[in-house]
Structure 1
């Protein structure tokens, strides 16, 4: 039976070119590397290396086998890392991945509800961007995530939870602060804090918020984080089209928000690793999330549930 340790030794030997290099990478002796390779050759039924003058030259079969190893090794490595994570956990708890804007606004409200039924349960929060949220889920490093909606991705299950209105954030004293509703036409000639895409899959927010026929504003600053957009507005660099949740954090800095006329919404999901089972803690977290988002006093900017 082929063992992971044998494949690991073969992979390191192919990449370093010597048993000395492979032994250093695996923190074992050279004879141990040789034994692992010999056992692997016996299990495979063909020779991987020609041994001559103290050197091990890969055979054609080894080169072909390496291609198959590289295709499958990453899956084995993910399993090994997942096992290490589970083994190193000091106590059972909950790990949540969350965008920075939500981790400082919506998530604290959810955790207040969660701790009502799970007092003392340790919770680890990974406050990361959208792309890193997906990596955390696929690598089984988090139990659940709160994220903007994203296209279907292997290894991740999603549950749509809410749609939120798009707002226009204005600095104190701005000429549009008295308006009840801000339109794209209102921002002609304005400095708008713009967006950098999270990935190549993103559609340009400029196209969503400023459709054809509308004079686009100027974009002197672009960023991919909501909190940075709010900060730039607070310091008077311009206005911005923003998600609503971080507003409470920036309200103390004098920022004014108004509804923005657009068909676009911010769609949010709960996301889970596709393991087939969810723990009781994950289920309690989901219940707490639903409790919060259904409360109009806690989530006043909701455009409607899915």
Structure 2
């Protein structure tokens, strides 16, 4: 199989469009389209549904991309091993995080860390919790933060932070007058939620079912930051992780948050590869994480249900 075609396919899956994939690869957009067609002909697989300029990955494409990622991880491990042999003593750190803490919180920690360790090279990846888990379990990355819904087999995992859900909506919404939001308040609201497989979403669904409430689920998405942004744009009322609401600065942007009762709980794990002695670089990074975590929890405390009940 032509590796160039695999790189084109990987770039399209990563960026979501042939135009952005072409920019990433430094080739023309028609070249990307031709490459995808050749790959489909070679593999005898239909990889994308086409509707005008839009591409939608098929289930076959998702399965193939999973195998491509695994192959890339293996190649990256070989490159890292060669680099370590060639540059003994050069400090490097590879960290991954889910979006809840990856978009703003983790960059702050990295910036703080690099002020003390300017010679260290850091690779930082934001991805879904399952992908973060795979990066760390494979040994490709040194440290990860992800939701507790992952399989912790072949990992050293421990709780890093526990948080809770808040109901978010634009200023002026009727819910702004309430100190807390209950499931009954969401009746017939246009609701923006996390994906059905998310553990926090499952808790929310149970609370709604117990209350006999059936809101209109208008958007389901993987990340709390996306929930907040959609609510800010006026798409509806969202239920998001308070960590995303606070760390992304949505209060200053005009988005209102109210505690959700009964609570929807989020647990973030910190994970490291098994059977590997933790380096001093990782330990120092983890210490910076804890300091910033405690500051974030303090900022979030005003939205805790216990503060308003």
TM range (shorter): 0.5 to 0.7
SS in 1 for 2:131: helix
Query: By how many angstroms is 1:149 displaced?
Result: 1.4
Paired positions, count: 230
Query: By how many angstroms is 1:253 displaced?
Result: 3.2
- Does the CA contact (< 8 Å) of 1:82 and 1:139 recur in 2? no
Q: Does 1:259 align with 2:254?
A: no
Structure 1 counterpart of 2:231:
233
SS in 2 for 1:251: coil
For residues 39-78 of structure 1, what are the structure 2 equivalents within 5 Å?
A: none
Q: Does 1:207 align with 2:202?
A: no
Q: Does 1:82 align with 2:42?
A: no
Deviations 1:70-126 (A, max 9, x none): xxxxx9997775233232467421111011231123213323443354234222110
SS in 2 for 1:231: helix
- Does the CA contact (< 8 Å) of 2:94 and 2:141 recur in 1? yes
- Does the CA contact (< 8 Å) of 1:97 and 1:128 recur in 2? yes
SS in 1 for 2:171: coil
SS in 1 for 2:96: strand
For residues 143-154 of structure 1, what are the structure 2 equivalents within 5 Å?
A: 143-154=142-153
Structure 2 counterpart of 1:245:
243
Q: Does 1:96 align with 2:91?
A: no
CA RMSD of aligned residues (A): 3.0
Deviations 1:276-301 (A, max 9, x none): 31111111111111122223545547
Summarize the Cα distance change of 1:84–1:115 in structure 2 as closer, same or farther, 3 Å threshold.
closer
- Does the CA contact (< 8 Å) of 1:198 and 1:224 recur in 2? no
Summarize the Cα distance change of 1:209–1:116 in structure 2 as closer, same or farther, 3 Å threshold.
farther
**Matches of 1:76 and 1:107, distance apart in 2:** 27
Q: Does 1:218 align with 2:216?
A: yes
Structure 2 unmatched runs, 5+? 2-69, 305-309
For residues 96-245 of structure 1, what are the structure 2 equivalents within 5 Å?
A: 96-197=95-196, 204-245=202-243
Structure 1 unmatched runs, 5+? 1-15, 17-74
Deviations 1:142-173 (A, max 9, x none): 11011111354322111212211211111121
Relative CO higher for 1 or 2, CA cutoff 8 Å, sep ≥ 6?
1
Query: By how many angstroms is 1:180 displaced?
Result: 1.2
Runs of 4 or more consecutive aligned structure 1 residues displaced over 4 Å after TM superposition: 75-81
Structure with the larger helix share = 2
SS in 2 for 1:210: helix
Summarize the Cα distance change of 1:289–1:203 in structure 2 as closer, same or farther, 3 Å threshold.
same
- Does the CA contact (< 8 Å) of 2:164 and 2:263 recur in 1? no
Structure 1 range deviating more: 110-119 or 275-284: 110-119
**Matches of 1:297 and 1:279, distance apart in 2:** 29
